[in-house]
Structure 1
Amino acid sequence: MDNWKQNLPPIGQLGPFIALLLACSFFGATADNFFSAENFSLILQQVMVVGVIAIGQTLIILTAGIDLSCGVVMALGNIVMTKFAVELGLPAPLAIACGIGVTALFGLINGLLVTRIKLPPFIVTLGTFNIAFAITQLYSKSQTVTDVPPLMTALGETFQIGGTSIAWGTLLMIAMYVGMWWWLRDTAAGRHVYAVGNSPEATRLVGIPTERVLLGVYVLAGVFYGIASLLTVARTGVGDPNAGQTENLDAITAVVLGGTSLFGGRGVILGTLIGAIVVGVLRNGLTLMGVDSVYQVLVTGILVILAVTVDQLSRKGGR
C-alpha cells in the first residue's frame, strides 16, 4: 500500500485533472448534449489557438517570467503571413515562415531586454504588447485580409472518426504538447528551463548559461505564437488584425489552472493542456446552459484567483 501511494503523482499535478472531471460531471448533469463526441471535438477546436499560445507562455512562466504580449504578437503574425500571401503573392509556405519569423523576432526582442538589460518581464512584454498592437493595426490598416490560400486554412479542415469531426489543428496542438512534455522531462535543455526557474544564481554557478536558456525560451515561445497565428487563420479563414485581444489572459489562465507555479520552476506542460480544456469546458457548458458570457468571464477569474492562492499556500507549506 505504501509503495502504491508513493507512485501517485503529487496532488498539485492531479488538481487540474480533478477540476476537469468535476466540470464535466457538473455540465453533463445540467446541460443537454454536453456528453457528445461532437461537442468535445468542438471544445478542442475552440481551445487549440489558446492552447498553442499557452505552450510558449508555460515555458516563460517556468522561468519565473510572464508574457503579456503573446496574444497581439500572434495577431501580428496572423496579419503578416496573410498579407504576404495575398498582397505580395508569396507562396503560402514562405508567407507562413515569414509570419512565424516575425513572432520569433518579438520573442528575441523580449528575451534580449530581459537578459541583457535586466528589465522585468512584466514591463518588457507590456511594452511589446503595445508595440505589436500598433504595428498590426498600422500594417493592416485595421482591415481584415480575405481570400487567403487554401494551404493556410488546411489545419482548420476536419476528418471523420466514428462519425465525429476532428480538426487537423487539434491533432497538431496535442502533438506539440506531447513533444514539449518529452523535451522538458527527458532532455538536458528542458531540465535547464526548470533549473533557471528554481534558482537562476544557483543554476549559473553550476555552469549552465542562464541568459542563453532564458533567451532561447523567449524565442521558442515566439515560434509557438507564430504557429498559433496559422491556427487562427485556419480556424477563421481570414487574417484578423483584431485577433488576440484576450488570448494573452486566456493563455495565462490555462497555465495557472494547469498547475504551473507563477513563481517559476514547477509545473507540467500537460497540465497546461488540461487547464486550457477546463476553460473551454466551462465556457462551452455555460453556453449550453444559456448563461450570459459575462458570467463565463466571472467564473474564469474566480478560478484563476483560487489556483494562484493554492500555489501560494503550497509554497508556504513547503518552506
Structure 2
Amino acid sequence: MTTATAPRAATFDWRRLTTHPTAGPLVALLVACVFFSSQSEQFLSGGNLSLVVQQVMVVGTLALGQTLIILTAGIDLSCGAVMAFGTIVMAKLATEGGLPPLLAVVTGIGVCALFGLANGALVTYVKLPPFIVTLGMLNVAFALTHIYSDEQTITNLPGTLTALGGTFPLGRTDITYGSVLTIGLFLLFAYALSQTAWGKHTYALGNSPDVARLTGIRTTRLQLGVYTLAGVVYGIAALLLVSRTGVGDPKAGQTDNLDAITAVVLGGTSLFGGRGAVLGTLVGALIVGVFRNGLQLMGVGSIYQTLITGVLVILAVTVDQISRRRARR
C-alpha cells in the first residue's frame, strides 16, 4: 500500500533571477536612485525623473540598435555620425528640399538604413572586421553631414519633425511622446529577441557563427539584416533628436556612439556576443542618465561625471569577463 505524498510547494528560482544579465544593472540603478534621492530632494520629483527619461531617449534608442549588432559579436562605431547625418537629411529636405515633412522623415530613416546595409555588406561579404568598417563609416558619415549641411544649423522645422518632442500630462508629470516611442521600441525588440526564431538565431550567431551555420541558419543574410535593421533604429533616433532639439545640428551626435556602447555594456550585454537583453540596455541608458543628473544636482562638475561613467564601463566589462570565465569552468 502506498501513501500519497503531499504536492511540492512552488519555489521561486532565485538563482536564475540573480544570474540574469539584467539583474545586476537593475540593482545598480536602484542603488543609484536611493543614493541620489538621499543627496537631493529634487531627484525623485516627477519633473526631474521625466527630464532624465527625455535625456536618455535619444542615446537609449541609439543603444538599442547597437545592442542588436553587439549581440552578433560585432560593434558599430558609426552609429552617432549616421544618426547626425539622418537629422540633417530630414531637416534639410523638409525645409529646403520641398519634400513633404513625412516623406523627408522616411527618407532620413532610409538613408540611415543604407548606412547599416553598407556596414553589413562589408562585414559579411568582404569579411572586414566590424571595428574597421564602422570606424571608416564614422568618418564618411561625419564628413557627409558637414558637407550636406554646409556647416549650418537648420532651423524653422515643420511641426511633423518636432511632434515627438511634445508632451502630455501623466498625473503631475509631463511625458514626451518620444519617450513613449522609445519604451515601445524596447518592448518590441525585447519580444522579438526572446519569442521569435529571428531572435533565437541572432543569439546563436553571436555565440558561434560556425555552429549557427551548421544548424541551418543563413548567417550571412541574418547578419546583413541585423546591421540594416540597426540603421533603421538609428534613423528613428535621428527623428527623436530633431524632435527634442528642434533643429538639425551638424555637430550633434559626436560622442553618442560612445554613450550608446556605454549603455549597452552597463546593461549587461557581453561585448563578445550571444549574451544580453535589450531591456538591460534600457536600464544601462537610465544608469548613465541617473548618474549624470544626480551628480549635476549635487554640483559635481561635468568632467567628473565623465570620469565616473568611464569607471562604470570598466567595472561592467570586468564583471562580464569574470562571469564568462566562471561559465567555462
TM-score bin, normalised by smaller chain? over 0.9
Choose the corresponding residue for 1:318, options 306, 322, 327.
Answer: 327
Amino acid of the residue matched to residue 183 of structure 1?
Answer: A
Q: Partner of 2:158 in structure 1?
A: 149
**Count of residues paired in the alignment:** 319
Q: Partner of 1:68 in structure 2?
A: 77
Supply the distance in 2 between the matched residues of 1:2 and 1:300 (Cα, whole angstroms): 41
- Give the secondary-structure state (helix, strand or coil) at the position aligned to 1:212: helix
Amino acid of the residue matched to residue 114 of structure 1?
Answer: V
The CA deviation at 1:32 is 3.1
Question: Between the two proteins, what is the percent identity of the paired residues?
Answer: 63
- Give the secondary-structure state (helix, strand or coil) at the position aligned to 2:17: coil
- Matching of residue 181 in structure 1 with residue 190 in structure 2: yes
Choose the corresponding residue for 1:226, options 221, 235, 251.
Answer: 235
- Do the aligned partners of 1:81 and 1:98 also contact (CA within 8 Å) in 2? yes
The CA deviation at 1:14 is 0.5
- Matching of residue 3 in structure 1 with residue 11 in structure 2: yes
TM-score, structure 1 length as denominator?
Answer: 0.98
Q: Partner of 2:209 in structure 1?
A: 200
Task: Give the root-mean-square deviation of aligned CA atoms.
Answer: 1.1
Amino acid of the residue matched to residue 222 of structure 1?
Answer: G
Q: Partner of 1:32 in structure 2?
A: 41
The CA deviation at 1:37 is 1.0
Q: Partner of 1:171 in structure 2?
A: 180
Moved over 6 A (4+): none
- Do the aligned partners of 1:34 and 1:285 also contact (CA within 8 Å) in 2? yes
The CA deviation at 1:2 is 8.6
The CA deviation at 1:190 is 1.1
- The superposition leaves residues 243-271 of structure 1 with CA deviations (integer Å, 9 ceiling, x where unpaired) of 11111000000000000000000001100
Supply the distance in 1 between the matched residues of 2:261 and 2:274 (Cα, whole angstroms): 16
- The superposition leaves residues 54-106 of structure 1 with CA deviations (integer Å, 9 ceiling, x where unpaired) of 11000000000000000010000000011001001100110001100110000
Choose the corresponding residue for 2:62, options 27, 47, 53.
Answer: 53
Supply the distance in 1 between the matched residues of 2:74 and 2:299 (Cα, whole angstroms): 37
Q: Partner of 1:215 in structure 2?
A: 224
List runs of 5+ in structure 1 lacking aligned partners.
none
Q: Partner of 2:285 in structure 1?
A: 276
- Matching of residue 287 in structure 1 with residue 317 in structure 2: no
- Do the aligned partners of 1:32 and 1:288 also contact (CA within 8 Å) in 2? no
The CA deviation at 1:163 is 1.6
- Do the aligned partners of 2:109 and 2:232 also contact (CA within 8 Å) in 1? yes
- Matching of residue 106 in structure 1 with residue 106 in structure 2: no
- The superposition leaves residues 24-65 of structure 1 with CA deviations (integer Å, 9 ceiling, x where unpaired) of 011001123001111111100000000100110000000000
The CA deviation at 1:161 is 1.1
Supply the distance in 1 between the matched residues of 2:18 and 2:183 (Cα, whole angstroms): 21
Supply the distance in 1 between the matched residues of 2:301 and 2:89 (Cα, whole angstroms): 34
Q: Partner of 1:19 in structure 2?
A: 28
List runs of 5+ in structure 2 lacking aligned partners.
1-8
- Give the secondary-structure state (helix, strand or coil) at the position aligned to 1:282: helix
Supply the distance in 1 between the matched residues of 2:217 and 2:131 (Cα, whole angstroms): 24
